[in-house]
């Protein structure tokens, strides 16, 4: 799946949501804040300051200059002109940008080998509209809160086509967690998990960006949920979101614990780590078990991007249990996206969904603020330190804005 195709497919899904005043606000049942409608009649005047804060002429953004699975080697900060939105575009000042495990794959050029450096990076952002084109002004106005999924979110300002942006009730990082991480868990479990009440579900990297949602959705389906993680703090968090059996694999042997406590095996695995963890997960499948391949992060920082897997006995293992392995890529499930996002927004509004965000407050050099902190945030995630979705604060809130 190429990055462009991936972004295009998800953007198509987002546009199905109907960017503009209906969209997510309508889906979520959250009342939008009172808005000042501005119809910009002058195309030449489509730059409009947001509540008195001026738009500078230059900005910083991250650019992939060299393909490498070493993020720091591949990516650098550049100072460039603030882009001008076209007729149907929004200029978004990014308040928050989401860090994803696959930023490393993207910087290594694994998504679309035909795309050569330099290119922009960063999958998702949320912020305020600070400028817009004439057509875009029929649905948006300066000051609107929007989220989006697409390349180029690791920048202070990003131009986003209006029809591909998601109106949100407020610029809160929690909404950012739903676009990719939440949607992946929601749709993968719904479409490929075939969850039944009373079944056992194993989630790997359970306390991370997407794992936290898999735990909650499996629990909501009435399942017994096991979650792997690397610290007692994460295990405590997993308990707090309904995980029945957190396994801190740094203090407990994962394979032995599963064998001892779940002799009948587990019915569904939401698997993100790959390599030896995938081998253990295949081994512990119950009869008619379903293993969903969400990712294989343990290999992403290697030259091939793929962790070792001893798979020659795989057909035997699957056959003996009538088990199956299913791959999941979010852009292949565009038709499920609208329902997934709407449903998650409603759950969040009703306090029925925890969207845990990790801003790096406990990271060695402190909170992830400013674009330069993306490098630290990627290191932090790959060191397994994050609890929840890793989010970088690109800009502090505007002075006059109470969001
Ligand atoms: N298929 C899709 O459409 C899709 C969409 C989104 C994400 N994903 C996949 O979902 C997985 C999680 O992504 P995310 O962005 O949400 O990240 P994340 O879970 O927030 O962070 C990664 C976590 O993986 C765990 N981990 C286990 N072994 C690791 C290793 N060898 N190296 C680094 N981390 C390791 C760490 O948690 P512990 O230390 O607690 O184990 C770490 O906190 C990735 O595989 C990603 O590619 C797939």
The count of structural domains within the chain is: 2
Report the greatest alpha carbon distance in the chain.
70
Residue 343 counted as domain residue: no
- Which residue puts its alpha carbon closest to atom 40 of ligand 1? 229
List the strands of the sheet with 58-64, edge to edge: 75-81, 58-64, 119-120
Domain final residue, candidates 331, 365, 382: 331
Residue 87 lies in a domain: yes
Ligand 1 center from residue 105 Cα (angstroms)? 12
CATH number at 151 reads 3.90.180.10
- Asked if residue 210 has its Cβ within 6 Å of ligand 1, the reply is yes
Rounded to the nearest angstrom, the distance between the alpha carbon of 386 and the centre of ligand 1 is 10
Nearest CA to ligand 1 atom 35: 384
Residues 163, 195 within the same domain? no
Cβ of 382 less than 6 Å from ligand 1: yes
Domain match, 386 and 250 both: no
CA–centroid distance, residue 101 to ligand 1 (Å) = 6
Residue of 7, 9, 205 to mutate, ligand 1, most atoms within 8 A of C-beta: 205
Looking at ligand 1, which atom is closest to the CA of residue 272? Answer: 45
Clarify whether residues 239 and 106 are in a common domain.
Answer: no
**At which of 289, 316, 331 does a domain end?**
331
Q: Is 267 a domain residue?
A: yes
CA distances from 342 to 18, 29, 175, 183, 349 (A): 12, 9, 11, 10, 11
Tell me which residue has its CA closest to atom 6 in ligand 1: 181
Ligand 1 atom, smallest distance to 105 CA: 47
Could you tell me if the CB of 143 is within 6 A of ligand 1? no
Tell whether 389 and 251 lie within a shared domain: no
Same domain, 130 and 269: no
Whether residue 214 contacts residue 230, with contact meaning beta carbons closer than 8 Å, is answered with no
The whole-angstrom distance between residue 279's C-alpha and the CA centroid of its chain comes to 25
How much is the pLDDT for 338? 87
Residue 382 lies inside a defined structural domain of this protein:
yes
**100, part of any domain:** yes
The per-residue DSSP string of 346-393 comes to: HHHHTT-----EE--TTSTT-S-BSTTHHHHHHHHHHTT--SBEEEEE
Instruction: Assess contact for 298 and 277: CB atoms under 8 A.
Output: yes
Q: 98: Cβ below 6 Å to ligand 1?
A: no
Q: Is residue 341 part of a domain?
A: no
- The verdict on 194 and 287 lying in the same domain is yes
C-alpha to C-alpha distance for 305 and 106, rounded to whole angstroms: 11
Classify residue 337: in a domain, yes or no: no
Question: What's the confidence (pLDDT) of residue 147?
Answer: 96
Q: Phi first, then psi: give them for residue 393, nearest 5 degrees.
A: -90, 110
Distance 212 CA to ligand 1 centre (A): 11
Bridge partners, 208 (sequence order): 388
Domain interval for residue 235: 180-331
Query: pLDDT tens digits for 175-209?
Result: 999 999 999 999 999 999 999 999 999 999 999 99
Distance of CA 26 to the CA centre of its chain: 22
**Which of 178, 227, 185 is CA-nearest to residue 206?**
227
- Sign of the alpha-carbon torsion through 86, 92, 93, 98: negative
Please tell me if the CB atom of residue 10 comes closer than 6 angstroms to any atom of ligand 1.
no
* Same domain assignment for residues 155 and 45: yes
**Residues of the chain below pLDDT 70:** 1-53, 398-403
CATH of the domain at 259: 3.40.50.720
Asked whether 254 lines ligand 1 (CB < 6 A), one says no
Q: Are residues 136 and 51 in the same domain?
A: yes
Distance 100 CA to ligand 1 centre (A): 8
Q: 329: Cβ below 6 Å to ligand 1?
A: yes
For the CA of 211, the closest atom of ligand 1 is 19
Ligand 1: atom nearest CA of 293 is 1
Single pTM value for the model: 0.91
Whether 69 and 142 share a structural domain: yes
Which pLDDT does position 115 carry in this prediction?
86
Q: What is the per-residue pLDDT for 402?
A: 44
| 154 plus 202 within the same structural domain | no
Residues 132 and 267 in one domain: no
- The answer to whether residues 167 and 307 belong to one domain is no
Does residue 400 lie within any of the structural domains?
Answer: no
């Amino acid at each position: 799946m190429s990055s462009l195709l991936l972004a295009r497919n998800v953007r198509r899904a987002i546009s199905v949501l109907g960017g503009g005043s209906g969209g997510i606000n309508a889906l979520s049942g959250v009342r939008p804040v009172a808005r000042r409608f501005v119809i910009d009649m002058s195309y030449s005047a489509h730059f409009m300051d947001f509540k008195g804060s001026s738009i500078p002429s230059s900005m910083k953004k991250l650019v992939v200059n060299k393909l490498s699975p070493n993020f720091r080697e591949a990516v650098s900060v550049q100072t460039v002109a603030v882009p001008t939105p076209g007729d149907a575009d929004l200029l978004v000042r990014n308040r928050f940008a989401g860090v994803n495990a696959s930023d490393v794959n993207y910087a290594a050029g694994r998504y679309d080998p035909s795309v050569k450096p330099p290119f922009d990076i960063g999958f998702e952002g949320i912020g305020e509209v600070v400028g817009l084109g004439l057509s875009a002004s029929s649905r948006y106005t300066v000051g609107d809160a929007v989220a989006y999924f697409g390349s180029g979110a690791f920048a202070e300002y990003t131009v986003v086509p209006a029809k591909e942006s998601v109106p949100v009730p407020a610029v809160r990082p929690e909404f950012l967690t739903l676009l990719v991480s939440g949607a992946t868990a929601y749709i993968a479990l719904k479409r490929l998990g075939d969850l039944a009440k009373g079944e056992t579900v194993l989630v790997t990297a359970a306390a991370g960006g997407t794992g936290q949602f898999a735990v909650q959705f499996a629990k909501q389906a009435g399942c017994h949920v096991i979650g792997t993680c690397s610290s007692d703090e994460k295990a405590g968090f997993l308990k707090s979101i309904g995980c029945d059996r957190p396994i801190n694999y740094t203090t407990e042997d994962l394979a032995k614990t599963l064998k001892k406590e779940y002799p009948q095996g587990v019915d569904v695995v939401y698997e993100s780590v790959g390599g030896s963890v995938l081998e253990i997960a295949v081994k512990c499948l119950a009869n008619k078990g379903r293993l969903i391949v969400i990712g294989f992060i343990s290999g992403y920082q290697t030259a091939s991007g793929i962790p070792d897997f001893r798979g020659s006995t795989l057909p035997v293992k699957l056959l003996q249990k009538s088990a199956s392995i299913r791959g999941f890529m979010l852009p292949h499930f565009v038709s499920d996206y609208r329902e997934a996002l709407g449903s998650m927004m409603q759950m969040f509004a009703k306090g029925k969904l925890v969207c845990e965000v990790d801003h790096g407050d406990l990271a060695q050099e402190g909170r992830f603020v400013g674009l330069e902190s993306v490098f630290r945030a990627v290191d932090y995630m790959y060191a397994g330190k994050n609890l929840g979705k890793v989010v970088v604060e690109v800009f502090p809130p505007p002075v006059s804005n109470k969001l």
